[in-house]
Structure 1
């Protein structure tokens, strides 16, 4: 028998006027949510994605007076169904609780959560931290901010793909019209073979100016190096999200059936190692579920939520969007992102019309997304703001790219001129701003130099050249913006993406105004950069781009002085690869401390 509550509750956007709570249930039976000791109206949006899958976004709307801010608010689930609410409660509380943030004093931020990576899940550490704080009658952190790669659509474990198909069948997830991809009917025959089935541009159709034409090499549209089990259909994306969000949904999975035998020892070892890591991930999922239920959680996509290198170059876009199958796969990633992430970011104020489009897209329990695809690709409001103090501004650096018009193989700017101008307007006149950018604005110069070298030789996709300085126009506009005298006194830039963590502070050279930018990068929640390689790059960065190095004046941000802050236990170490999630504390809108809560229980303090 299926559990009633499949995923959630997950507290999403929480403002003094409206609180949104997201959950998934196995039937359409009534399930109401109410705040304890507070009057409010309730509105529910329901989207049926399968015979036994109902996505619900419940809006709690303040009735006469606004909801209180910076104070713990209890809520309860009201239903006749059997739900064990205790698993969502922190020690000493009979209800899950959350805070509507007004004056920000503490946030948790992270990115890059790969279920089968061998590192531990740092959301467990975040949950344990919150539990300790709440048991001591403290609020703890007010917001959980996730800046990308909440799922890995391109890098999927073999056992996870098997679990996805089990779940699709158990929940009767509605399928889309068949894509023109020649996949075997047996899922075990698909394992580690999907990359060869994904769309390509035949070498005959490639430009004669490319080496690939003369070497007679087809051009793969999806450029991930780990696309052997890439998600393809909408129903696969749906199941993937549920399996990453929820412990209950794994009750539907027969773990004994997650087996695979390969004649190739390398593939067999890969499957076995991935399954072992996945089992550990599943064992800790109740922690992340409890965390989601007790904090307002806001999210933004990065590339892996859809596919690796998503929109990295204009040529990538041209190849993918001109092919109907490739375009459909990307659309599946975007639609599922809206259902499981984007919908709760804005309480449906700008994106809510997608619900009606989805309802219109289903005929006889099958999806027909032609009309929805047009709207999802034209939608330009994935970015959002939260009116707290400091103001939170969340950037969409994927769908507003500044394309290189002279060379389509060059990396695109992460934001185009229009969006950079809008960002500038958001910064002007503010005392302080928290800016969430999936990729670091001020990255590690030695690593960016390596990326520039690969880009010079025409291989930007090989090393993921997605830094803000890679595009001349975007870099110049961005630096001019931060050098303005009327930008915030203190700007905190929260970033992820790179699979290592660091803390830089930035000030404009030759400026009489003491405004400061903090680049606080935390990555990954469950992912890591190779430790030895990162140590070498850290040393190279110290040697070649130290504070007194003349090489700094040959970079695009030479007018900005970047100071690298070491970790407390080793003043020569600035980059940390151990998986973790950041704990950021503010006092009167200014950065007070920056820590990384590691999955193994260790804590790294950066010296400010």
Structure 2
């Protein structure tokens, strides 16, 4: 079989090129995103289980090019008509008497199996329940098409399908994609080739990029110089500050970014795997002749490896498409939607924002994000005259001009909030801020039993230190805006906070980032490759965040927060309990308590098997350099110290030459912080005489140990010959028996079994997180179950994804396993 260009296949494609994707869904409104090959006015109809239309809404598609039209259409009612525990359906009317089941809309025959489940004739959904113990919420991040292994996002399809068979009320209610839904900076050459092939057919216009004199440098595998030197991007800079080749196919034009979303969410524009372009089709004879024999062999080997991983990605795209059509889905960017290290620090901003090509890449990435992700998060903001509506209007004009209208380009830049270096430096302290009339990327989702605060930790940073110092992921201004006080009418028992990067990070990894930065500074270079941007690395932003979360619920003095994150390419759980009589930067002295549960799920498709990669953490846990069983912890005391000068807080007792000495204990900086766990390992004794203003303990959680019986040889043989699919346990169902059945099929079960088995501390293979709330042994717990795959006995094959790692985290303030008294034991009354 051979490669076939999209222009030769286009007439056979249906009207719908990607989607439908179910987006923001509330009792009185539902939004669906969809990409079409023709201009249409699309009407979204919401129906109940009897097929009666409840409400509807219409919107005209946005024309991006000759044969590409996108819309996020919202059906709206003046009153709340949708209830929990009910199944609802939606249909789309494209005019001319054509709905989803019309021939040529989804499929040539009108058959809807690509977007529906066998039980129903239309895509379906449920609202979150009023009782949080019945909630089933999903989250995950980091989906690179040529990442290793199989795509964990496809697991959502299995979850929905099995729930509809066994108990429809237990279907997942919401899906949060917490960042890196696409990878703009690390793109397989073969995939960029397919994207570029689709541009003339779908868009019909070609963007002239600034400072690009030779268009041959835009070909697949040849963009590294443009990305690194001309645009100033840092994706190719290695941990040793050398120039690698990661950005060889970096997305740059608007069409690159936009079409990547279509290829990430739908299999319709792809060719069959056997027809993927080969090496000689992607790289011209002329280019190959410029390479040495060694370079040619290396390039060909890299291409074959990327193509193999792309085929794995393509394999599960139908499952991903069907799942996204049937679950309310919310999204937020991290850096890879735009480029690696996006707004990492002040030095990065200087480097990229001062270059025309760098600015255009950021602008194109954010515009594509707005159309393909942001529009569905906050559809109200994309109606004229709201900033998003003005943005879409300007974008449509810019597209119509073939990307040549400079006035509309400036309007786009303004509306997406693209800053200049001067804008950042003129703020005191230096920070990224949104100008009046620009689109707001953070947002809130309200349900009867909880709220979700989705944070924008990329475009609202501050840079309080030197050029290469760690950023504050939210400036003081942004923290107030994105985490507002709870009003009495919006009082909720529980708050979810979506932070793309973990708020409570793995200590081993964050210590490496600090060391890397310090070493790089001494060598006069930068630690680009280490991603030095964890929350805790900039204490002001970190302590401010905890304070804000602890005080926003006042006068209620107790708050519970679930932090959902991704980014790091592994999954884990941690618990932080916080107490204060004067929280950091809070104007009044007031007692408050907080429990913050950190659940991290990453990656969907970007595990790394090489030395030092995510699989090392998967196998060895929180300290991957040593084969020891260890759960990190911290016990922290804090004081405000506006002067930053030495603050006397107590005494330390230490042995010197066999004599025990007591020395004054002074600490610096603002906030002034002590980690007692670290200090106890150094000194013989500690005594705190200045009472802390706030204090907390952080504990990393080991997955629940489940007593699994070893498989009998006969039952193993029976299961190996049994092709009947194995159903995973639904929430609150008995887990042991189905887990035993699954493990009988698993080659690696001996590594998984046991309290400290593989994946019990950290899951470092592709995974997705499932969040539920239960009562276990009489106490309320938040549960994160990570679904991942074990190897099959069949060589080179993986089993189906399964809920293998279950973290149970107490929501009780007086939990015996996490005693807050330990934090204050050295404090002198």
TM-score (norm 2): 0.66
Uncovered stretches (5+) of structure 1, i.e. residues with no partner: 202-218
2:176 pairs, out of 145, 148, 160, with 145
1:453 pairs, out of 495, 515, 529, with 515
- Any conservation in 2 of the 1:439–1:495 contact (CA below 8 Å)? yes
1:503 pairs, out of 573, 577, 588, with 573
* 1:462 aligned counterpart, secondary structure: helix
The C-alpha deviation readout for 1:479-513, integer Å capped at 9, x for no partner, is 33345474653210000000000011111258887
User: 1:13 offset after TM fit, Å?
Assistant: 0.6
User: 1:255 offset after TM fit, Å?
Assistant: 3.0
* 1:151 aligned counterpart, secondary structure: coil
Q: Output the CA distance in 1 between the equivalents of 2:31 and 2:359.
A: 31
Higher mean C-alpha displacement, 330-339 vs 510-519: 510-519
Q: Output the CA distance in 2 between the equivalents of 1:482 and 1:64.
A: 32
Q: Are 1:9 and 2:9 an aligned pair?
A: no
Q: Are 1:125 and 2:155 an aligned pair?
A: yes
Q: Output the CA distance in 2 between the equivalents of 1:27 and 1:244.
A: 20
* 1:290 aligned counterpart, secondary structure: helix
Q: Output the CA distance in 1 between the equivalents of 2:549 and 2:186.
A: 36
- Any conservation in 2 of the 1:53–1:173 contact (CA below 8 Å)? no
Give the aligned partner of residue 499 of structure 2.
437
User: 1:246 offset after TM fit, Å?
Assistant: 0.6
Give the aligned partner of residue 414 of structure 1.
473
Q: Output the CA distance in 2 between the equivalents of 1:426 and 1:578.
A: 38
Please list every run of at least 4 consecutive aligned residues from structure 1 whose deviation after the TM superposition is greater than 6 angstroms: 510-514, 554-558
- Any conservation in 1 of the 2:576–2:697 contact (CA below 8 Å)? yes
- Any conservation in 2 of the 1:490–1:516 contact (CA below 8 Å)? yes
- Any conservation in 1 of the 2:558–2:593 contact (CA below 8 Å)? no
* 2:530 aligned counterpart, secondary structure: coil
Higher mean C-alpha displacement, 36-45 vs 478-487: 478-487
Give the aligned partner of residue 66 of structure 1.
81
Q: Output the CA distance in 2 between the equivalents of 1:354 and 1:101.
A: 32
Q: Are 1:197 and 2:384 an aligned pair?
A: no
1:401 pairs, out of 449, 455, 461, with 461
- Any conservation in 1 of the 2:209–2:360 contact (CA below 8 Å)? no
The higher relative CO (CA closer than 8 Å, separation ≥ 6) is in 1
* 1:559 aligned counterpart, secondary structure: strand
The 3 A distance-change label for structure 1 pair 52 and 320 is same
User: 1:73 offset after TM fit, Å?
Assistant: 0.6
- Any conservation in 2 of the 1:468–1:475 contact (CA below 8 Å)? yes
- Any conservation in 2 of the 1:91–1:134 contact (CA below 8 Å)? no
1:468 pairs, out of 535, 543, 549, with 535
1:601 pairs, out of 788, 791, 801, with 801
User: 1:365 offset after TM fit, Å?
Assistant: 4.0
Give the aligned partner of residue 214 of structure 1.
none
- Any conservation in 2 of the 1:545–1:552 contact (CA below 8 Å)? no
- Any conservation in 1 of the 2:187–2:250 contact (CA below 8 Å)? yes
2:333 pairs, out of 278, 285, 301, with 301
* 1:109 aligned counterpart, secondary structure: strand
- Any conservation in 2 of the 1:311–1:317 contact (CA below 8 Å)? yes
User: 1:98 offset after TM fit, Å?
Assistant: 1.2
User: 1:113 offset after TM fit, Å?
Assistant: 0.4
Q: Are 1:161 and 2:192 an aligned pair?
A: yes
The C-alpha deviation readout for 1:528-582, integer Å capped at 9, x for no partner, is 2524542556136965944689444699999321121112354334111011100
Q: Output the CA distance in 2 between the equivalents of 1:547 and 1:272.
A: 45
Give the aligned partner of residue 212 of structure 1.
none
User: 1:236 offset after TM fit, Å?
Assistant: 0.8
User: 1:149 offset after TM fit, Å?
Assistant: 0.2
The C-alpha deviation readout for 1:407-458, integer Å capped at 9, x for no partner, is 0111211000012123453468643101100000011112111111112233
1:384 pairs, out of 443, 452, 462, with 443
User: 1:179 offset after TM fit, Å?
Assistant: 2.8
User: 1:195 offset after TM fit, Å?
Assistant: 1.1
Aligned CA-pair RMSD: 3.0
Q: Output the CA distance in 1 between the equivalents of 2:144 and 2:204.
A: 23
Give the aligned partner of residue 771 of structure 2.
584
- Any conservation in 2 of the 1:25–1:55 contact (CA below 8 Å)? yes
Q: Output the CA distance in 2 between the equivalents of 1:536 and 1:254.
A: 38
The 3 A distance-change label for structure 1 pair 391 and 95 is same
Give the aligned partner of residue 362 of structure 2.
330
* 1:279-294 paired onto structure 2 within 5 Å: 279-294=311-326
Uncovered stretches (5+) of structure 2, i.e. residues with no partner: 1-10, 238-245, 418-434, 582-590, 636-674, 682-691, 706-753, 790-799, 810-829
* 2:508 aligned counterpart, secondary structure: helix
Q: Output the CA distance in 1 between the equivalents of 2:569 and 2:77.
A: 40
User: 1:460 offset after TM fit, Å?
Assistant: 3.7
- Any conservation in 2 of the 1:175–1:234 contact (CA below 8 Å)? no
The 3 A distance-change label for structure 1 pair 289 and 543 is closer
Q: Output the CA distance in 2 between the equivalents of 1:586 and 1:506.
A: 17
- Any conservation in 2 of the 1:582–1:596 contact (CA below 8 Å)? yes
The 3 A distance-change label for structure 1 pair 532 and 171 is closer
Higher mean C-alpha displacement, 222-231 vs 129-138: 222-231
2:410 pairs, out of 367, 370, 378, with 370
* 1:168 aligned counterpart, secondary structure: helix
Q: Output the CA distance in 2 between the equivalents of 1:109 and 1:557.
A: 35
* 2:168 aligned counterpart, secondary structure: coil
- Any conservation in 2 of the 1:584–1:591 contact (CA below 8 Å)? no
- Any conservation in 2 of the 1:167–1:253 contact (CA below 8 Å)? no
Q: Output the CA distance in 2 between the equivalents of 1:449 and 1:64.
A: 52
Q: Output the CA distance in 2 between the equivalents of 1:61 and 1:68.
A: 15
